[in-house]
């Protein structure tokens, strides 16, 4: 298999080198990259393409700039009605799809209706209707106020009503800065500059995305055959001649989710027990948080290419900096356990309470080496305070099917929308049902937090919602933060590492969500060659 991939790659490179797009040119017209996994389901926004970054081939109504400020794209202005359920957007009138047809309000309406009807991971259930109010004005009506609906306006690429249908995902047409040319599945994707693009014109005539393993891509970059390559943490310390390593900050975080309920005999519909008598005690959760050495995790496992994680949304505009705390304080962790009634009565090194040892499995996906190492190191860090975490790697299917309602799980999260807070911390995301969803399998519930999250969604504007998102994390008295409920033990935020050739300026990258690669292209129209 490896030989096949290498032969395929060099065939692609040779074909490029034989054309005017050769890498050796002073200012190559083709930018060759290996930065992301192939989008196997295709490039259709109505089924999820672009939900974590720029859809590239399609335009969006609104957009984030490098500082996560909301700016216009297709929309020249937008307003939110007094009851906060009606969004009105006025569109540019100079936009064409790459087949020459104009983009109008009807295309926007069709796109959102198609996305709402799809079975993809796009939740538009709050949308009551979408309608054209003239050729270049669109009205969205929601069933209830939801300020995070703006995220759909930022990420949903608009498709042409007259061309969308079966096969679109594999030959997409849009109005974005690049147009689709060719996709050889399992090999490469080629895009070409859209000369009719209404915005800033990209500096590159073509983009070539090569789909390779991380090791193969790194080897190709070292051989001078790539302009941009995603670099795994384990290889980030190695220099690539002629390239510069660029560390992009992210909220691609890792943390331990705790079952919040005691074991009461309740079982899921699949027959799995719900609840844990150890992790349901806040003293245990707080002690793990204070006893953990996060800087050592960043340095030892991420090789310094990351940052300490205190919460779910570190560094984002809705982050609450008051949730910060001093970790690696094992004396404080021991005192918390002692005050909570957890004592090592039999002197075996593990504290106990009411006859129950502070011993739990720590579940992680067996296929993820980074999470495996995090689980093992954290178990070693926590053991001296008297808590035993037993790392256990299981297949993803087992995690998805069971959610491990009765064991802590090492999960990964991270998105550049405050809706992430609602998903992870609102009790509605499991609705007190026998089965949970993957958003809140620990079954965290706090009425005050629910209230802040609901008020944030009903805010009259995005800026007005920010203080409420912050209070939902910690209001000085309660919240999921360590000072309060300690619903999670957040550990690290991963840097997303990319190496780029020295004469390529990729500008200022916005903080990236969980999953690197495609989000790097959010500012692709500002990338420039600096060489002569």
In the chain, DSSP finds a helix count (H) and a strand count (E) of 12, 21
pTM for this predicted structure? 0.89
Region 124-128: mean pLDDT is 95
Residue 24 has pLDDT above 50, yes or no: no
pLDDT digits over 453-472, tens only? Answer: 999 999 999 999 999 999 99
pLDDT band at 14 (very low <50, low <70, confident <90, very high): very low
Lowest mean pLDDT among 274-288, 389-403, 423-437: 423-437
User: pLDDT value at position 396?
Assistant: 87
Residues 6+ apart with CB under 8 A from 64: 70, 71, 154, 416, 510, 522
Residues 153-202 pLDDT 10s: 999 999 999 999 999 999 999 999 999 999 999 999 999 999 999 999 99
Contact 370, 233 (CB under 8 A): yes
Q: Quick one: how far is CA 48 from the chain centroid?
A: 13
> What is the predicted pLDDT for the residue at 106?
98
312-333 pLDDT per residue, tens: 999 999 999 999 999 999 999 9
Instruction: Check pLDDT > 60 for residue 40.
Output: yes
**pLDDT for position 52:** 79
Q: State the pLDDT at residue 402.
A: 67
The predicted pLDDT at position 304 comes to 94
Residue 157 to residue 175: CA distance in whole angstroms? 9
For residue 431, the model assigns a pLDDT of: 53
DSSP structure class, residue 364: E
Please tell me the least confidently modeled range out of 238-242, 274-278, 404-408, 478-482: 404-408
Q: Which of 421-439 are b and which e, b meaning 16 or more Cβ less than 10 Å from the residue's Cβ?
A: bbbbbbbebbeeeeebeeb
Predicted confidence band of residue 115 (pLDDT cuts 50, 70, 90): very high
Asked if residues 414 and 493 have their Cβ atoms less than 8 Å apart, the reply is: yes
The winner for highest mean pLDDT among 141-145, 229-233, 260-264 is 141-145
Q: Which of the pair, 338 or 22, is modelled with greater confidence?
A: 338
Return the higher-pLDDT residue of 514 and 358. 358
Q: How confident is residue 18, by pLDDT bands cut at 50, 70 and 90?
A: very low
The angle that helices 369-382 and 282-291 make with each other, rounded to 10 degrees, is 100
Confidence bin at 233 (pLDDT 50/70/90): confident
Give me the mean pLDDT over the 326-353 stretch: 97
Mean pLDDT over 6-31 rounds to 50
From CA 359, how far away is CA 352, in angstroms rounded? 9
Reported as a pLDDT band with limits 50, 70 and 90, residue 478 is very high
Assign 26 a pLDDT band (cuts: 50, 70, 90): low
């Amino acid at each position: 298999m490896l030989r096949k991939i290498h032969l395929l790659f060099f065939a692609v490179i040779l074909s490029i080198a034989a054309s005017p797009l050769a890498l050796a040119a002073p200012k190559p017209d083709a930018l060759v990259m290996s930065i992301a996994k192939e989008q196997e389901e295709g490039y259709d926004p109505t089924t999820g393409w672009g939900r974590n970054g720029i859809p590239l081939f399609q335009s969006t109504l609104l957009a984030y700039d490098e500082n996560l400020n909301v700016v216009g794209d297709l929309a020249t202005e937008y307003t939110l009605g007094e009851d906060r359920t009606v969004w009105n957007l006025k569109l540019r009138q100079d936009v064409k799809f790459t087949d020459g047809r104009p983009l109008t309000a009807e295309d926007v309406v069709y796109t959102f209706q198609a996305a709402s009807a799809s079975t993809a991971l796009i939740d538009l259930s709050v949308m009551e209707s979408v309608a054209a109010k003239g050729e270049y004005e669109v009205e969205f009506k929601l069933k209830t106020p939801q300020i995070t609906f703006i995220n759909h306006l930022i990420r949903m690429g608009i498709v042409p009503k007259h061309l969308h249908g079966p096969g679109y995902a594999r030959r997409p047409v849009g109005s974005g800065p690049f147009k689709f040319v060719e996709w050889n599945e399992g090999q490469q994707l080629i895009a070409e500059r859209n000369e009719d693009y209404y915005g800033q014109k990209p500096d590159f005539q073509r983009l070539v995305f090569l789909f390779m393993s991380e090791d193969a891509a790194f080897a190709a970059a070292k051989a001078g055959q790539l302009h941009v390559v995603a670099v795994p943490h384990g290889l980030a310390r190695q220099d690539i001649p002629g390239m510069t390593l660029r560390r992009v900050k992210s909220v691609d975080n890792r943390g331990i989710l705790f079952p919040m309920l005691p074991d009461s005999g309740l079982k899921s519909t699949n027959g799995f027990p719900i609840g844990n008598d150890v992790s349901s005690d806040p003293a245990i959760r707080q002690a793990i948080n204070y006893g953990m050495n996060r800087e050592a995790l960043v340095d030892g496992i991420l090789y310094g290419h990351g940052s300490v994680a205190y919460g779910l949304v570190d560094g984002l505009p809705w982050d609450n900096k008051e949730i910060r705390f001093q970790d690696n304080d094992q004396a404080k962790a021991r005192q918390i356990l002692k005050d909570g009634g957890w004592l090592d009565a039999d002197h075996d090194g593990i504290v106990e309470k009411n006859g129950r040892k502070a011993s739990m499995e720590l579940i992680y996906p067996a296929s993820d080496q980074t999470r495996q190492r995090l689980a093992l190191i954290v178990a070693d860090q926590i053991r001296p305070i008297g808590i035993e975490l037993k790392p256990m790697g299981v297949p993803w299917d087992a995690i998805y099917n069971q959610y491990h309602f009765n064991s802590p799980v090492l999960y990964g999260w991270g998105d550049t929308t405050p809706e992430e807070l609602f998903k992870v911390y609102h009790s509605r995301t499991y609705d007190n049902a026998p089965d949970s969803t993957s958003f809140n399998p620990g079954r965290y519930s706090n009425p005050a937090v629910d209230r802040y999250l609901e008020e944030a969604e009903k805010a009259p504007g995005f800026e007005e919602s920010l203080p409420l998102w912050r209070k939902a994390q910690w209001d000085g008295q309660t919240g999921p933060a360590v000072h309060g409920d300690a619903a999670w033990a957040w550990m690290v935020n991963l840097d997303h590492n990319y190496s780029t050739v020295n004469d390529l300026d990729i500008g200022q990258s916005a903080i990236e969500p969980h999953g690197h690669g495609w989000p790097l292209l959010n500012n692709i129209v500002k990338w420039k060659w600096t060489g002569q």
